Structure 1
Amino acid sequence: MPREINRLNDKQIRAWMKAGAPVAKADGGGLTFTLSAAGTAAWVLRYRHGGRARELTLGQYPDLTIQAARQRASKARAEIQRGTDVAREHQRAKAEAVAAKSFRELANDYMAKAFPKLADTTAKQRRQHIEGVIFPRLGAMAARDVTTADVVALLESVGKKKTANVAELVFTALSEIFRHGLARHAVTVNPCAGVSVAAICGRAEPRRKRLKLTEEELRELLPALPRIGPENTLTVKLLLLTCVRIGELARAEWQHVDFERAEWFVPEANSKTGRGFTVPLVPAAVALFKELRPLASGSRFVLPARQERRVRNHAGADVPFNQRALNAMLHKLCDDLGSKVRRFTPHDLRSTARSHLAALGASIIVAERCLNHSLGGLVSVYDQHDYLTERRAALETWAAFLQACESGVPWLRESNVVQLRAA
């Protein structure tokens, strides 16, 4: 007796999809309609090859109609009767399609999947190197055809035109793309393996060391800050008092500033570490935020771009201020102050705060927590305390020290040191 086929119809399928419960209904001849718990409806052909049960996904419903699914199943059954393992052939064809991807396609896939997990500045810099440096040389090649010789030639070119430091960054981006390709089976080898940028371009220049502004420099700098304008002055002081990164303050929004609790929450999206954290605000920091409120002119950002810049560059959109503008203003101010204050960047204010916090008596853990640094090792695993009370006490001592520097009052350690007791 022949097996019954064409058992299903659209009305039944729509009813099952509306019900939403997982189902697997046979249409006959091995063709099966499946509905997953997640709501994905698909056509699957079930068959046996070499005595083993096999499955071939034909397509999703309703993109693949009943009639089209039956036609595909009929063609596949004919291949099966000729001894072909159609599921295995389908897998091989997919693997070949992935392997045939151009380097550009592989790199774009890497950026789409990896960049959301990177800090904004890191992702932006890496995209520039990939699209501006790597694509012109390797973009059109099949990813699997890129060789170690191609990588070496690219790095040699970058080293001659730019610097060994840039070559290192380009090599990092290239290595990450090929690691991604190996994981996706788009390539079988990593042509970056065994390559040394130093051997090709020479050793990169050592990274600039973080700078700590001394007490004498702070006493010169703080009273001179009004020369760079009110918003910039308040920004520099907030960076010192909160110890945050410039990017975290630049993206701060008023909805996250709690004046009653004297706290500012930095959400995951704005944190370099990818973890949200709370910054205790000492009274001086609260006062600075309150001074900035009217200057924001209704923007959701604590530090919005100036209105003329918004209109000129962003079609009037509400965007945060440009961090590079502050850096330029600080360099100009330091040049005006001559040898009294060394040139520094906004990020140097973090190393300045960290160094002075230690000198003022803050413990290593409290000082590191003030900067939202990961403590690493077993401490980061087992110590889940946020040290909010201890951080607030340390920052209050730091604020008092800064106030003494700004006002020209001597900082008498014997009388001004506050014991940072555990909460």
Structure 2
Amino acid sequence: MGKLTDIQIRNWVKAGKPIARADGGGLTFTLSAKGTAAWVLRYRFGGGVRELSLGRYPDIPLMEARKLATENRVKVYQGTDVAREKQRARVQAAAMETFDKLAKDYMDKVFPGLSATTAQQRRRHIERLILPKLGPLPAREVSTADVVSIVEAVGTKSKSTAHQVLTALSEIFKHGIARHVVTGNPCGGITVAAVCGRLEPKRQRLKLTADELRAVLPELPSIGASNALAVKILLATCVRLGELAKAEWGDVDFERAEWFIPDANSKTRQGFAVPLVPAVADWFRQLEVYACGSRYVLPARQSRRVGNQGGDAPFEQRALNAMLVKLCKRLDGRVRRFSPHDLRSTARSHLAELGVPVVVAERCLNHSLGGLVAVYDQHDYLNERRAALERWTAFLLACESGQGFNVVPIRKGA
């Protein structure tokens, strides 16, 4: 050893070009294409060439790297495969990792790739329902019986939540297998139906009929001006409630008559431009007055939420759902109870009745087209969607005013 100098190494790091330079005695300085500088000890053992990572530079300076190389070379001469020894130590350390640490590593690494809603819901289930029971245990000691116990306890209150908890557990163990923290997935073969009985069938999405829309729309002001405008925008634009709840005024372009939903706010994780027809743009302008300078289109009003968010926060989505429940009760049989998400199925069904082509209608809802269509059809259909939403909004305005509406298919125009 002794071929390299500190000045050489600093110059190589500054240049940033990938290199590998030997210092002698098997010690090698490496610099990756991404700029990671490290020390490697190359040696022969059992007839083959082996490598041991000694650490990164400058955490380990030249003189310290030489010292480590000498110590490990002595072990090799004494018959120890030092790279294999380090690997065993890493595996043993992983075997002692607690479930709490594994779950947190899973959330840190996997959640950025999930939709914000899915990540938030899964984090809540992990932190509130799973970690209190399994957190302190070594991850490798978590058994099938432990998983069944949690699923059974959660299932007594909600079978659908039990299903989500089981999914979260399974995903954590899959992550653990990839990291060699666990050797198997104790969730394998377990189903919520087997533990808690069959799941109740999901409630079918509603399509509000024209008569129901004629009953609902004129009564919307009774739930508050901002809430009324939010419901009409949800209907007219076909967006998800979460996308509207997180909307900011910086994403609304009145000159282009477009509202852009950023990647982070979209369930598909891909930004999406929503055309704003004149009536809908006017509803946004009315909301701008009610926003009172907030950056959010629909800001929170409760002091507890505003205070926790540094003085500005989006409105609570559950509040609108509660308002709609009260509205349906007040209408007393004139309309079935519906949720904000039912407004999307309502819009999709009426778009079909208005003669909007399937592809255009699906893109109005920002649905993935799927299959080869999604691969080869990269057209945004913005103009076609604008025409469809103009027709759909005109129908909504007719329902609100109680006027008739002549349904003329627009298939040729789109």
Same fold, TM-score > 0.5, yes or no: yes
Tell whether the 8 Å contact from 2:249 to 2:296 is kept in structure 1 after alignment. yes
Q: What TM-score, normalized to structure 2?
A: 0.96
- In structure 1, the residue matched to 2:75 is 79
How many Å apart are 1:12 and its aligned residue?
A: 2.5
The verdict on how the C-alpha distance between 1:119 and 1:22 changes in structure 2, with shifts beyond 3 A counting, is closer
- Residues 46-65 of structure 1 correspond to what in structure 2 (within 5 A)? 46-65=42-61
Counterpart for residue 333 of structure 1: 327
* Match of residue 92 from structure 1: 88
The residue identity in structure 1 corresponding to 2:190 is V
The residue identity in structure 1 corresponding to 2:184 is: V
Q: How does 1:90-129 map to 2 (within 5 A)?
A: 90-129=86-125
- Tell me the percent identity: 65
What displacement does 1:246 show?
0.5
Moved more, 23-32 or 105-114: 23-32
Question: Which residues in structure 2 correspond to 1:390-405 (within 5 Å)?
Answer: 390-405=384-399
Residue number among 230, 234, 238 corresponding to 1:235 in the alignment? 230
The answer for the alignment partner of 1:8 in structure 2 is: 4
Q: How far apart are the structure 1 equivalents of 2:336 and 2:191?
A: 36
User: What's the offset of the Cα at 1:310?
Assistant: 4.8
CA contact (8 A) 1:40 1:60 kept: yes
Q: 1:281 Cα deviation (Å)?
A: 1.2
State whether structure 2 residue 366 is matched by structure 1 residue 366.
no
What do the CA deviations read for 1:373-400 (whole angstroms, capped 9, x no partner)? Answer: 1121222122222111221111111111
Tell me the distance in 2 between the aligned counterparts of 1:223 and 1:163: 36
Q: Which one-letter code corresponds to 1:267 in the other structure?
A: P
The letter for the 2-side match of 1:411 is: F
Task: Select 1:304's aligned residue among 299, 306, 310.
Answer: 299
**TM-score, scaled relative to structure 1:** 0.94
Alpha carbons 1:369, 1:387 under 8 Å: kept = yes
Aligned to 2:379: 385
Which structure 2 segments of 5+ residues have no match?
none
How many residue pairs match? The answer is 414
Q: Which amino acid aligns with 2:180?
A: H
For residues 267-306 of structure 1, what are the alpha-carbon distances to aligned partners after superposition, in whole Å with 9 as ceiling and x for unaligned? 1111001111111111111111111222222222221222
Structure 1 position 422, deviation (Å): 5.3
Mapped to 1, the partners of 2:331 and 2:233 lie a distance apart of: 21
Letter in 2 for 1:385: H
Amino acid at match of 1:170: V
Secondary structure of the 1:340 match is coil
Residue aligned with 1:33, SS: strand
Higher mean alpha-carbon deviation, 240-249 vs 368-377, is at 368-377
Code of the residue aligned with 1:175 in structure 2: it is S
1:54 alignment partner, SS class:
strand
Matched AA of 2:144: T
Q: Aligned letter for 1:156? A: E
Moved >3 Å (runs of 4+):
307-313
Letter of the structure 1 residue corresponding to residue 284 of structure 2: F
The separation in 2 between residues aligned to 1:378 and 1:179, in whole angstroms, is 30
Determine the structure 2 residue equivalent to 1:70.
66
Deviation at 1:344, TM superposition (A): 1.4
Q: Determine if contact 2:300/2:306 at 8 Å carries over to the other structure.
A: no
- Match for 2:185 among 179, 184, 190? 190
1:243-271 C-alpha deviation (Å, 9 max, x unpaired): 00011011112222122221111111110
Show the 5 A alignment for 1:23-38.
23-38=19-34
Q: Aligned pair 1:420/2:411, yes or no?
A: yes
Instruction: Give the CA deviation at 1:309.
Output: 4.8
Identify the residue that residue 265 of structure 2 maps to in structure 1. Answer: 270
**Partner residue of 1:219?**
214
Measured on the aligned residues, the alpha-carbon RMSD in Å equals 1.7
